[in-house]
Each structure stands twice: as structure tokens, then as C-alpha cells.
């Protein structure tokens, strides 16, 4: 009869590394910084790997009164950006033995129903990406720590958000505006997502501010910089197509379309081709997000790259900090304009 294999314990790890069990606990719970030397921490991790040690999560959860599960709420699963957010959040969660439940809100960015009869009994905390803060009322009033990603603060009468982590949307629109104005475009049109949310409102405000600053700088040259705006009926290629057709058949016609999303930009490119316009010779088009679609269209799309994975990872770190009793700082992650073939110099008609 084969003897049952001994499951290594924290005492075994401590003995192998030549340290105390308290030190093993600090290192494996990632709370060693400033209390244990990096060399000792690595010795503990190496001993745990060699022994095949796995912490007893059930016992730890009972001891801490936690389920070690976080909820990630997104508006939809059809957008590649949210897959990136999930990937980043899940990676950090796995490093800390936390599970992630992904929940696409049936109402999009609208008020999300509590996906469980009582979230408090099944979850430790919530991450919400690109959602209106008031949409999370069912979960917020349940007393769960809430970290908002790509979202603004909630209403004053709502329970406080534990932390916010946002991409620098304003800088993304600033980079886009300066890129197009530097190419000589004077009449920009903003094709917005017809969705009432903080993330799209921030893009509009930032573009308005960037164009206003450029107009003030060029007053001496009497340069007439114009900005018009129209909303797409839906956040899709078809929505972008119909909205861009309205912009491109107006008089005077804009020489550059600034789109709130790569899907809208792809629709704008289709509209330009249907109207017999060349990109970028007759009209430049820019997007936002840098989805895989951006390099699938021809010419490839100039767009703002948002750090989806980094956003999810930073959000999960903030939530874990809250659960550990620490106060995370609000974070703003840098973004990058990626110039490609869909934008070019403005040509005189």
C-alpha cells in the first residue's frame, strides 16, 4: 500500500529556507518589503517552489473572513479593450491567489443589477471598467470596496469609491489634436460615441480645450480653426458610417475626423470611400483604443493606444491594497498616439 504523500507546510518551507514561519508568511503574502531583505524573500520563494508548497486558501479565507474573489463589471464582452482589462486584472489577482468573476452588465453602462442575491456574502470587492459610477448603486450600497477604472467619481449622495484608475484621456486627445493641427488641418470634426458616460465626456472636453488653445496661439496669423461635432447612434462600425456620412456631406466639409473609438473610425473610413474620398489625401481619420481592427483596415488607422492590461492590473492592485487596509492613490496611466496611414497633411482643395 502506497503511503499518502506529505503535503508541504509553511513550517517545511521555513525549515528549508532557514527562517521563521512568520517570515514565510510575510513573504508569501507579499508583505515583506521593508521587513525582510530581498535575498531572504527570494530564498523563501525558492524553497516554496522546490517543495511545491501551496498555501491553504480555505483556511486563510476562513481566518480572514474573505472569499478571495473579486468581481469585474464591464459594459460588454464584445469589445477587445475589456478583454485586455480582464487579462491584466486576472494576472495580478492570480499572483495573490484571488479569483476574478467577469460580469458584463446587461444594461451596458446603465444601472447594473447585483449579479448575486447578496454580493457581500460571495465577493471581497468590485472593479468596474468604463461604467457610470451611479450604475453600480446595487453593489456600492452593499458595502463592497469599489475601484473604478476609466470612470469618474460617483454622485455626492453615493457611497465613496475606494479608488479610481484612469488612462490619461485628456492627453490622448491633446496628442491627436496637435498631430492633426500640425499637419495643417483647420477644420476638425469630432465623431462622438452617443453614450452618456464619463470616459466619452472627458474626450470631448479635452478636444475642445486642445482646439481652443491652438486657436489662441494662432490668432496673430488669423488662422480659422474650427471644430464641429456629431454623435453616432451606436458604438459600432455601422454607427460610425452613418455619423461620418453626415459630417462628410456637410458644407464646408471637415478635413479630419476625430473618432471616439476605433470602431467608429472604421465606419468613418467606409463612409469616406463610399463618397469617393481618399484617405488621407481628402480626409484624415483618427481613432481611440488601438484595437486589432486599427491595423486591419487600409490604410492603417492613426489612433490613441490605451493601456488596457495595465489599467486592469493597476485596478486590481488598488483593490488588493484596500482589502489589506491600505489607502491606494488615484492613478492616471499614460497613453500614446500611434500615427499610421489614415492621417496626413491637409491639401488645399
CATH of the domain at 35: 1.10.260.40
pLDDT per residue as tens digits for the range 14-24: 899 999 888 88
Do 344 and 178 contact (CB within 8 A), yes or no?
no
Q: How far apart are CA 209 and CA 188, in angstroms?
A: 13
Whether 329 is in a domain gets the answer yes
* CATH code (residue 128): 3.40.50.2300
For the sheet with 163-167, list strands across it: 99-104, 69-74, 125-129, 146-149, 163-167, 331-333
pLDDT band, very low/low/confident/very high, at 57 (cuts 50, 70, 90): very low
Task: Please tell me whether residues 199 and 143 are part of one structural domain.
Answer: no
Task: Please tell me whether residues 252 and 148 are part of one structural domain.
Answer: no
Do 264 and 232 contact (CB within 8 A), yes or no?
yes
Task: Please tell me whether residues 182 and 276 are part of one structural domain.
Answer: yes
Task: Please tell me whether residues 198 and 292 are part of one structural domain.
Answer: yes
pTM above 0.85, yes or no: no
Do 291 and 260 contact (CB within 8 A), yes or no?
no
Which pLDDT score, from 0 to 100, does residue 194 have?
A: 82
Report the percent of the chain where pLDDT is more than 70.
Answer: 81
Whether 338 is in a domain gets the answer no
Tell me how many domains the chain contains: 3
Task: Please tell me whether residues 197 and 302 are part of one structural domain.
Answer: yes
Whether 217 is in a domain gets the answer yes
Q: How far apart are CA 132 and CA 123, in angstroms?
A: 21
What would the DSSP string read from start to end of 250-262?
SSSPPSEEEESSH
Which residue did the predictor score with more confidence, 72 or 214?
72
pLDDT per residue as tens digits for the range 198-222: 889 999 999 999 998 888 777 554 5
Task: Please tell me whether residues 156 and 234 are part of one structural domain.
Answer: no
- Domain of 200 in residue numbering reads as 169-306
Whether 177 is in a domain gets the answer yes
pLDDT per residue as tens digits for the range 25-46: 888 777 777 788 989 989 998 9
Task: Please tell me whether residues 177 and 226 are part of one structural domain.
Answer: yes
Q: How far apart are CA 112 and CA 105, in angstroms?
A: 5
Q: Provide the H-helix boundaries in the chain.
A: 10-17, 21-28, 38-51, 57-64, 80-95, 119-122, 137-140, 169-182, 198-217, 237-248, 262-274, 308-323
Half-sphere exposure of residue 80: CA atoms within 13 angstroms, side-chain side: 14
Task: Please tell me whether residues 135 and 82 are part of one structural domain.
Answer: yes
Whether 163 is in a domain gets the answer yes
Whether 85 is in a domain gets the answer yes
Which residue did the predictor score with more confidence, 326 or 314?
314
Whether 341 is in a domain gets the answer no
Which pLDDT score, from 0 to 100, does residue 268 have?
A: 97
Task: Please tell me whether residues 72 and 160 are part of one structural domain.
Answer: yes
Task: Please tell me whether residues 31 and 77 are part of one structural domain.
Answer: no
Q: How far apart are CA 318 and CA 166, in angstroms?
A: 12
Task: Please tell me whether residues 274 and 199 are part of one structural domain.
Answer: yes
Whether 279 is in a domain gets the answer yes
Task: Please tell me whether residues 215 and 320 are part of one structural domain.
Answer: no
Amino acid at each position: 500500500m502506497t503511503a499518502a504523500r506529505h503535503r508541504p507546510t509553511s513550517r517545511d518551507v521555513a525549515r528549508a529556507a532557514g527562517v521563521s514561519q512568520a517570515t514565510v508568511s510575510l513573504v508569501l503574502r507579499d508583505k515583506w518589503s521593508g521587513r525582510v531583505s530581498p535575498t531572504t524573500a527570494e530564498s523563501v520563494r525558492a524553497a516554496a517552489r522546490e517543495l511545491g508548497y501551496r498555501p491553504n486558501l480555505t483556511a486563510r479565507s476562513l481566518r480572514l473572513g474573505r472569499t478571495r474573489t473579486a468581481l469585474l463589471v464591464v459594459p460588454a464582452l464584445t469589445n477587445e479593450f475589456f478583454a485586455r482589462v480582464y487579462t491584466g486584472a486576472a494576472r495580478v489577482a492570480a499572483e495573490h491567489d484571488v479569483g476574478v468573476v467577469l460580469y458584463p452588465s446587461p444594461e451596458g453602462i446603465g444601472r447594473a443589477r447585483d449579479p448575486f442575491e447578496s454580493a457581500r456574502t460571495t465577493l471581497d470587492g468590485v472593479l468596474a471598467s468604463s461604467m457610470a459610477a451611479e450604475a453600480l448603486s446595487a453593489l456600492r450600497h452593499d458595502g463592497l470596496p469599489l475601484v473604478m477604472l476609466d470612470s469618474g467619481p460617483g454622485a455626492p449622495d453615493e457611497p465613496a469609491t475606494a479608488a479610481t484608475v484612469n488612462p490619461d484621456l485628456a492627453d490622448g486627445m491633446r496628442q491627436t489634436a496637435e498631430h492633426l493641427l500640425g499637419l495643417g488641418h483647420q477644420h476638425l470634426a469630432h465623431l462622438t460615441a452617443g453614450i452618456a458616460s464619463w470616459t466619452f465626456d472627458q474626450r470631448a472636453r479635452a478636444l475642445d480645450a486642445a482646439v481652443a488653445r491652438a486657436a489662441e496661439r494662432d490668432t496673430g496669423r488669423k488662422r480659422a480653426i474650427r471644430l464641429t461635432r456629431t454623435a453616432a447612434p451606436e458604438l459600432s462600425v455601422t454607427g460610425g458610417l452613418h455619423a461620418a456620412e453626415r459630417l462628410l456631406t456637410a458644407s464646408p466639409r471637415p478635413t479630419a475626423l476625430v473618432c471616439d473609438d476605433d470602431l467608429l473610425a472604421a465606419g468613418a473610413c467606409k463612409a469616406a470611400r463610399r463618397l469617393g474620398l481618399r484617405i488621407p489625401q481628402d480626409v484624415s481619420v483618427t481613432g481611440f483604443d488601438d484595437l486589432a481592427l486599427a491595423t486591419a483596415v487600409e490604410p492603417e488607422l492613426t489612433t490613441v493606444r490605451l493601456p488596457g492590461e495595465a489599467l486592469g492590473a493597476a485596478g486590481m492592485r488598488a483593490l488588493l491594497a484596500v482589502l489589506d487596509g491600505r489607502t491606494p492613490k488615484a492613478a492616471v496611466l499614460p497613453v500614446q498616439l500611434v500615427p499610421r496611414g489614415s492621417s496626413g497633411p491637409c491639401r488645399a482643395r
